[in-house]
Amino acid sequence: MQLHRATFRTAAVSFWGLASIVMAANFIGNDLRVNYTVEWIVTGLAYAGGVVCWLLPWGQIPARRFIPVVFGGIGMVTVGLFATGGTRSHLLVLFLVIVVFTASILEFRIAAAALLTSLFAAGLPLVLQRWDGFYGRSLVLLAASMVICAYIPALGRKALREENQLAERRRMQLEESYLSTIEALAAALDAKDRHTEAHSRETAALALAVGRRLGLEDEALRFLEYSALLHDIGKIGIPGYILNKPGPLDDEETAIMREHPVIGERIVASVPFLVRIRPIVRAEHERWDGGGYPDALSGEQIPIEARIIHACDAFQAMASDRPYRRARPRDWILKEIRAQAGLQFDPRVAEALLHVIESGEVAITGTAESALHEDRKPQFAHSWTQHLDAIQQLGARLAMAVSVPGICETIGRAITTLLPYDQCRIYLLEDDEQTLRPVYFSDTKHTEYEGVTAETLALQVGQGITGWVAETKQGALVGDTERHPKAVHIPGTTNTDESMLAVPVIFEDRLIGVIVSVKVGLHQYTGDHLRLLTILANQAAVSIFNARLIERLAAMARTDPLTGVANRRAFEQALEQRLDAESVEPFAVLMLDVDGLKQVNDARGHAAGDAVLKRVATVLSSQLRPADLVTRWGGDEFVLLMPGTDQVGAMSLARRIGGTLLGGDDSAGGISVSIGTAAFPADGHSADGLLAAADRSMYVDKRQRVA
């Protein structure tokens, strides 16, 4: 156990205060049997003990070092007991003070030892002096009081310890979910840049080993791992044709590539949990000699985590194949790292990295271990086809698209440009993982397809040729759709000769959707058309997956994880946007507090308390309009923002919500809540003013309920 300095300061004040009061009490009354010499010595020792406690080091101190202070205090009280008359002493109550203080800060077994020692010391006057009935009765009462006062804090400490353990488990679960999201983002990046597959994970493993050798603490190592996993996340914003260009980048492309640390910083800045790694992600390409980018930092100006990742990233880059060269041999890499120590790399980091590589404590995949070949250029095609140019341009456009509908629109336009078609459809798999619904639809207004709508095109996995492609995850080239065994007639269309291309959109073996291109006439498509559509579907898969990841991150940053409603940040942004609008319409703010939630947690556990909060969130959401915003403000408080609602409407809604919650129909029974209302502009013109007014109104309601 650890005791904070505040505990020792409290002990010091107790020593000084009680010693002064006891000494003053020794002069009150007549016929006192006080040995003032001894009492002054005890008082001086108490003052000295207070000085020692006050001047102990600032850091956390193990609790066992405080045990002598406790028993020293018992000894001083015992001496003072005899010096002030023994069975006629007024110091008996000080033993209770010591036991309560001990039970509050130390383990129960130590408090029990202090209790027994105090009882023994308090009983000595009865043994060494004549029997005194009044003192005996006081001693019995003191013993019972000390047992109670030692037991109650012990229960409180146990409950607090269990609460802390539960909070720690929840924190670890939340952190694990963040780590899963981080790994998914890293996987998305690796999927976009085919030449860096698994690069982020391997760099993270290497960086952790180097960080341990440099003596980084556990928390710093954890954020070092997160930073290494996301060090290149900004490449999501770099066009694919630049990332995978088979040759050196020109000046313009180099300038675009050097923006990825800044893009990466902006991405992680949107997640509060990752705020700490922002400067690390931004500085990952800074050099020790100041020749890096984007800020030309040098030396100790660069965060140590960024220096570690930079060196490990360079090693992984040299140890991997690239579009413009093969992987370097291991000896060549080690020689290069030694040569760049003090120039590109921090010398301490370079030395630690070399030790890690040479010791073999991190498994190095890639080709550097067995790269015994000479460096050579990969083979290039002598000319670029029109399709390849279009695919490269598509990669640039997809990098600018940030929404799933925008990505589907971009892919659809590319398909209709590159392939013959009369209809192009892009289906996405819905959350039930069974329904395929078109999100993009384009046709040439051919009479055979008149009457086709999004509703008639929706289908289930396994239904028709499109559903069959989704089920098997294999592309299909169909020369005659009407005679295909899996064909299903689309309502509203006529029977006609038709050809079809259908390819699945898959990311890491997970179905995202299906792309379909159809054309009137038999055998209108070739194998080259199928291969081209497959390439486009693969690009769509990566872009859609990335967009959904970013959407989920944005939603996580604005959503309360327990109740699923908006969080405080989302409410504050919505309220500020409403107040900053040029024309502000009246609106109302409701603040709601769940009565007695702590008692529910104490009596039935936190799972029951969480269930209460979820039910409150469900009721609030069901009572509101689509334009209203329900927010978990924190703890047991909720806040509602209701545009176009005045004070009367807000109070009516508050009564309806309170009645609905109180009349619960589940096994948990009714839920009592206190609700306050505030209306703009009557109750305030600013966010703070409106929230303060709603808070005051809520506590008026709470006092009325208590009364």
DSSP characters for 227-296? Answer: HHHTTTGGGGGS-HHHHT-SS---HHHHHHHTTHHHHHHHHHHTSGGGGGGHHHHHHTT--TTS--SSS-
264: its two tokens: 């990466």
CATH of the domain at 664: 3.30.70.270
Q: Is the pLDDT of residue 379 over 60?
A: no
Q: Residue 338: pLDDT band by 50, 70, 90 thresholds?
A: very high
238: its two tokens: 């770099």
CATH of the domain at 255: 1.10.3210.10
> 498 Cβ partners below 8 Å, 6+ apart?
448, 480, 481, 482, 518, 519, 520, 521, 522
313: its two tokens: 């990233």
- DSSP E strand stretches across 508-636: 510-520, 587-594, 629-634
706: its two tokens: 């208590």
Residue 639, pLDDT score: 93
The Cα 185–Cα 219 span in angstroms is 21
Q: Is the pLDDT of residue 370 over 60?
A: no
Residue 179, pLDDT score: 63
Q: Residue 383: pLDDT band by 50, 70, 90 thresholds?
A: very low
In a domain, 556, yes or no: no
Nearest residue to 214 via CA among 110, 342, 344, 307: 307
User: pLDDT exceeding 70 applies to what percent of the chain?
Assistant: 84
Q: Is the pLDDT of residue 369 over 50?
A: no
Q: Is the pLDDT of residue 377 over 50?
A: no
Q: Provide the residue range defining the domain that includes 127.
A: 2-163
Number of domains in the chain: 4
CA atoms within 13 A on the CB side of 100: 13
CA atoms within 13 A on the CB side of 68: 5
Q: Is the pLDDT of residue 374 over 70?
A: no
First CA to last CA distance, the chain: 44
CATH of the domain at 467: 3.30.450.40
| Tally: H helices and E strands in the chain | 25, 12
Among 65-69, 299-303, 324-328, top mean pLDDT goes to: 299-303
The Cα 421–Cα 443 span in angstroms is 8
Residue 130, pLDDT score: 77
Residue 341, pLDDT score: 92
Residue 2, pLDDT score: 54
Q: Residue 348: pLDDT band by 50, 70, 90 thresholds?
A: very high
Residue 297, pLDDT score: 92
Residue 193, pLDDT score: 54
- The answer on 694 and 573 residing in a single domain is yes
Q: Is the pLDDT of residue 571 over 70?
A: yes
Residue 21, pLDDT score: 81
492: its two tokens: 């509203």
Burial class (CB in 10 A: 0-12, 13-18, 19+), 416: middle
Q: Residue 190: pLDDT band by 50, 70, 90 thresholds?
A: low
- The answer on 440 and 318 residing in a single domain is no
Nearest residue to 330 via CA among 310, 350, 351, 358: 358
Mean pLDDT, the chain, rounded, equals 80
The Cα 23–Cα 36 span in angstroms is 9
Work out the average pLDDT over 388-401: 68
Q: Is the pLDDT of residue 189 over 70?
A: no
In a domain, 376, yes or no: no
Work out the average pLDDT over 70-78: 83
Residue 588, pLDDT score: 92
Q: Is the pLDDT of residue 498 over 70?
A: yes
- The answer on 584 and 516 residing in a single domain is no
120: its two tokens: 């023994």
Question: 504 φ, ψ to 5°?
Answer: -75, 150
Beta bridge partners of 64: none
Tell me if 347 sits within 8 A of 308, measured CB to CB: no
Residue where one domain finishes, among candidates 518, 549, 580? 549
The Cα 314–Cα 328 span in angstroms is 12
In a domain, 390, yes or no: no
Residue 606, pLDDT score: 85
- The answer on 541 and 496 residing in a single domain is yes
Rg of the Cα trace of the chain? 37
pLDDT tens digits, residue range 222-237? 889 888 888 888 887 7
Work out the average pLDDT over 587-614: 88
pLDDT tens digits, residue range 425-479? 899 998 888 999 898 888 777 776 776 766 678 888 988 899 999 998 988 888 8
Binning the chain into helix, strand and coil, the percentages to the nearest 5 are: 60, 10, 30
Residue 453, pLDDT score: 67
Q: Is the pLDDT of residue 394 over 60?
A: yes
Residue 187, pLDDT score: 61
Residue 289, pLDDT score: 92
Beta bridge partners of 658: none
Q: Crossing angle, helix 93-105 and helix 108-128, to 10 degrees?
A: 170
In a domain, 170, yes or no: no
Mean pLDDT check: name the lowest of 339-348, 363-372, 598-607, 684-693.
363-372
- The answer on 684 and 605 residing in a single domain is yes
Tell me if 677 sits within 8 A of 590, measured CB to CB: yes
Work out the average pLDDT over 145-149: 79
In a domain, 554, yes or no: no
Work out the average pLDDT over 345-362: 88
- The answer on 238 and 124 residing in a single domain is no
- The answer on 210 and 146 residing in a single domain is no
The Cα 364–Cα 693 span in angstroms is 62
Q: Residue 347: pLDDT band by 50, 70, 90 thresholds?
A: very high
> 600 Cβ partners below 8 Å, 6+ apart?
608, 609, 612
- The answer on 403 and 360 residing in a single domain is no
- The answer on 535 and 409 residing in a single domain is yes
pLDDT tens digits, residue range 194-223? 445 467 778 888 999 999 999 998 888 988
In a domain, 555, yes or no: no
Specify the higher pLDDT residue, 474 or 549.
Answer: 474
What sign does the dihedral 401-407-411-416 (CA atoms) show? negative
> 307 Cβ partners below 8 Å, 6+ apart?
288, 345, 346, 349
pTM of the model as a whole: 0.38
Nearest residue to 530 via CA among 499, 505, 497, 503: 503
In a domain, 179, yes or no: no
Residue 494, pLDDT score: 67
In a domain, 70, yes or no: yes
- The answer on 506 and 404 residing in a single domain is yes
Q: Is the pLDDT of residue 292 over 60?
A: yes
- The answer on 415 and 336 residing in a single domain is no
- The answer on 598 and 532 residing in a single domain is no
Beta bridge partners of 61: 3
Residue 552, pLDDT score: 77
Work out the average pLDDT over 683-696: 90
pLDDT tens digits, residue range 80-130? 888 887 877 878 878 878 777 777 777 778 878 888 888 888 888 888 877
Q: Is the pLDDT of residue 380 over 60?
A: no
Q: Is the pLDDT of residue 413 over 70?
A: yes
